[in-house]
Amino acid sequence: MPCELATLWASAGGQLVPAASVGRPLDLLESVPFGRGVGLRAWVFRSGRVVRIPSRGRGFRDEALRGFLAVPVEHRGRRMGVLVLGRTEGVFGEEEEEQARALAGELAKVLAEAEGGE
């Protein structure tokens, strides 16, 4: 699934920190506080719900963000982080949301193995 921006936010020490990123770390509503930190990543982590936002080219720092998708990263009932994807061309559809959910599941397994808890 093509995207220009992607960040895996991992839960560490009660906060969400960028564990891996393509481009700069991505989030929206970065100054709005939620449990586990600020931004939509924190809301997705807390709620366990997916956020998919089409944009009409509103500015995102230096670029116009057209699509935003944030998916909880969960393994065996444990929420471990949030996968956030962004596009400067086009929006994310339902099929891509399902692909992102599958990718988030695989990333959760990797995070669990890294913690020694597979």
Structure tokens at 7: 């960040």
Tell the residue number behind the tokens 């560490």, with chain if given: 12
CA-CA distance, 118 to 92, in Å (whole number)? 31
Segment 71-106, tens digit of pLDDT: 999 999 899 999 999 888 888 999 999 999 999 999
Token digits of residue 67: 């699509």
β-bridge mates for residue 87, sequence order: 67
User: Tokens for 6?
Assistant: 């992607």
CATH number assigned to the domain covering 5-36+50-114: 3.30.450.40
| pTM listed for this prediction | 0.85
Angle at alpha carbon of residue 92, lines to 68 and 110, rounded to 5° = 75
9-47: pLDDT as tens digits: 998 888 888 889 887 777 776 656 566 677 888 889 999
Residue boundaries of the structural domains of the chain: 5-36+50-114
